[in-house]
């Protein structure tokens, strides 16, 4: 009976984290802690797809009809998720899907761990370390982003590579390519590992060629076509050049320059250390697996964008399964090396027990050290509603669904299912855009992160605008309606 129960433990673990992450995400939505960027943006995009409209977003730059979101990030995978949106056209469906993708990616990790370790406890612990990884936590705590969806195709691709499931391999590869443009770079490295680590030369070469071609096709043709301009998410340090190709050339010719930019200032090295530490530094025992982190580290630590140097938002989620695989291989290498000692060789299972326990411990320690939200997710007080939320919802429900709206960032996700929804900005009227309704609150958060006095100042100016009539004002929340001038 015990042997029959064991395989289902990982499914229980996956279900647990799916429920936990779903509850936390939906609670943030209900408490107006989500934002225009990115949940509101993706919710409007999905609503457009679900209603057979082009994915133009008025939220991205506060313009109408707005840019095509396929020119922002290349994510046709969202089209494949439209049937779920037909079942429930609500931004919370995106949050549920995100939690599901994250949870499901643990299964391939568990199976690979079982293959290399033949140890149930360690395999479960490797799955736990992935699910509770600080980068996964921050992605769930942020909003919704397609980067979080990429964990499933990446996890499945490595699983299919190891278990010789070619059809699944190429389906997962295609799913990854359709999820986000940078996933193709991870696929290049997976192809490289297929050659060096798993001696599958033909598959590896094919993967590398197709992945490089896909990256160039997407970044040089598809995104510029939909955007009407060049791909602009590289933002490299000037000493490395202006494009990925320039960065590769610099790395080959002057690797010390790339190394210096990668680890300096010290904050970068600290973040890199904090990302590997939850996995008990086991990936370091399989140096080849560290190559899998290359695309993520390059897009973050080789850029001038300091917000990417932190463990925040969605920036660390896509390396979660890759770190887990590196952990599995690193542990296998460690056991193999120490197995040469007769005393230790007789206690291989004990090493896996120790390794599994270490993964749990370091995951929890790093969660505490980095103040990521896992522990807060178990605080029942944070799930309690407040009277102001009821007032907010009443005001939001009074806005006609076919009207244009400018809203404080925290209200945008709830209003995203319309053609014209704008995140509040001081210059919107200067663009000649006067939405039908405006909703603001001095007690809710905003993005940009204005203080309460700054919000009150902006609300005061809106109240004085002669183009609008005041429908509601209670000293905190403001709802305005555009006056219709008669000829």
Give 249-266 pLDDT, tens digit per residue. 888 888 899 999 999 899
DSSP label of 438: E
The pTM of this model reads 0.93
pLDDT at 52 over 70: yes
Q: Is the pLDDT of residue 13 over 70?
A: yes
For residue 40, give every residue at least 6 positions away whose Cβ sits within 8 Å of its Cβ, in sequence order, or none.
34, 59, 91, 409, 412, 413, 415, 416, 421, 423
Q: What is the pLDDT of residues 53-94, one digit of tens each?
A: 999 999 988 887 888 999 888 999 999 999 999 999 999 999
Q: What angle do CA 465, 470, 475 make, to 5 degrees?
A: 100
pLDDT at 234: 67
Residue 190 has pLDDT above 50, yes or no: yes
pLDDT tens readout for residues 117-145:
989 999 999 999 999 999 999 999 998 99
Whole-angstrom CA distances from 284 to 42, 84, 321 are: 36, 40, 15
Confidence at 448, pLDDT banded by 50, 70, 90: confident
Q: In what order do the strands lie in the sheet with 405-407?
A: 421-423, 405-407, 437-441, 477-482, 468-473
pLDDT per position as a tens digit, 197-226:
999 999 999 999 999 999 999 999 999 999
* Mean pLDDT to the nearest integer, 394-410: 96
Where exactly are the structural domains of the chain?
2-378, 388-482
DSSP 68: B
Note the pLDDT tens digit of each residue in 296-353. Answer: 999 899 998 888 988 888 999 999 999 999 999 999 999 988 765 555 556 667 889 9
* pLDDT score of 1: 36
**In the chain, pLDDT over 90 holds for what percent of residues?**
79
Instruction: Kindly report the backbone phi and psi dihedral angles of residue 380, in degrees, each rounded to the nearest multiple of 5, phi listed first.
Output: -65, -25
pLDDT tens digit sequence for 285-295: 999 999 999 99
Confidence band, pLDDT 50/70/90 cuts, at residue 487: very low
Rounded distance between C-alpha atoms, residue 486 and residue 469, angstroms = 15
For residue 273, is pLDDT > 70? yes
Residue 349 CB burial class (10 angstroms; 0-12, 13-18, ≥19) = middle
The tokens describing 283, both together, are 């990936």
């Amino acid at each position: 009976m015990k042997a029959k129960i064991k395989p289902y433990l990982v499914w229980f673990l996956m279900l647990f984290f799916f429920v936990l992450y779903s509850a936390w995400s939906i609670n943030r939505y209900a408490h107006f802690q989500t934002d225009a960027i990115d949940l509101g943006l993706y919710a409007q995009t999905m609503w457009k797809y679900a209603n057979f409209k082009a994915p133009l977003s008025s939220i991205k730059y506060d313009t109408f009809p707005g840019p095509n979101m396929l020119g922002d990030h290349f994510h046709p995978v969202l089209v494949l998720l439209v049937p779920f949106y037909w079942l429930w056209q609500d931004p919370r469906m995106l949050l549920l899907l995100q939690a599901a993708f994250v949870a499901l990616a643990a299964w391939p990790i568990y199976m690979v761990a079982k293959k290399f370790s033949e140890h149930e406890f360690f395999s479960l612990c490797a799955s736990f370390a992935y699910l509770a990884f600080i980068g996964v936590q921050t992605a769930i705590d942020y909003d919704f982003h397609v980067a979080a969806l990429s964990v499933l195709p990446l996890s499945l691709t490595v699983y299919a590579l190891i278990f010789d499931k070619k059809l699944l391999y190429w389906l997962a590869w295609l799913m990854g390519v359709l999820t986000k443009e940078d996933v193709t770079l991870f696929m290049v490295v997976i192809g490289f590992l297929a050659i060096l680590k798993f001696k599958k030369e033909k598959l590896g070469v094919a993967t590398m060629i197709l992945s490089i071609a896909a990256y160039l096709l997407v970044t040089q043709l598809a995104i510029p076509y939909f955007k009407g301009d060049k791909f602009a998410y590289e933002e490299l340090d000037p000493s490395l050049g202006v494009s990925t190709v320039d960065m590769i050339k610099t790395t080959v010719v002057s690797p010390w320059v790339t190394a210096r930019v990668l680890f300096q200032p010290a904050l970068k090295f600290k973040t890199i250390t904090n990302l590997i530490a939850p996995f008990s530094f086991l990936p370091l025992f399989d140096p080849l697996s560290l190559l899998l982190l290359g695309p993520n580290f390059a897009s973050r630590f080789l850029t001038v964008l300091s917000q990417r140097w932190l463990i925040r938002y969605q920036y660390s989620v896509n390396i979660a399964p890759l770190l887990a695989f590196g952990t599995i291989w690193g542990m296998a290498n460690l056991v193999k090396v120490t197995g040469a000692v007769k005393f230790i060789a007789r206690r291989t299972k004990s090493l896996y027990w120790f390794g599994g326990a270490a993964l749990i411990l370091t995951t929890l320690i790093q969660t505490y050290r980095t103040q990521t939200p896992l522990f807060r997710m178990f605080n029942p007080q944070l799930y309690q509603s407040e009277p102001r939320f009821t007032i907010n919802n009443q005001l939001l429900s009074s806005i006609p669904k076919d009207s244009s709206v400018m809203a404080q960032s925290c209200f945008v996700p709830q209003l995203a299912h319309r053609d014209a929804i704008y995140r509040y900005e001081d210059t919107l009227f200067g663009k000649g855009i006067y939405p039908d309704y405006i909703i603001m609150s001095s007690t809710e958060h905003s993005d940009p992160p204005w203080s309460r006095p700054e919000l009150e100042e902006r609300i005061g100016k809106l109240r004085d605008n002669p183009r609008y009539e005041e429908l509601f004002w209670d000293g905190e929340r403001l709802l305005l309606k555009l006056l219709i001038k008669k000829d």
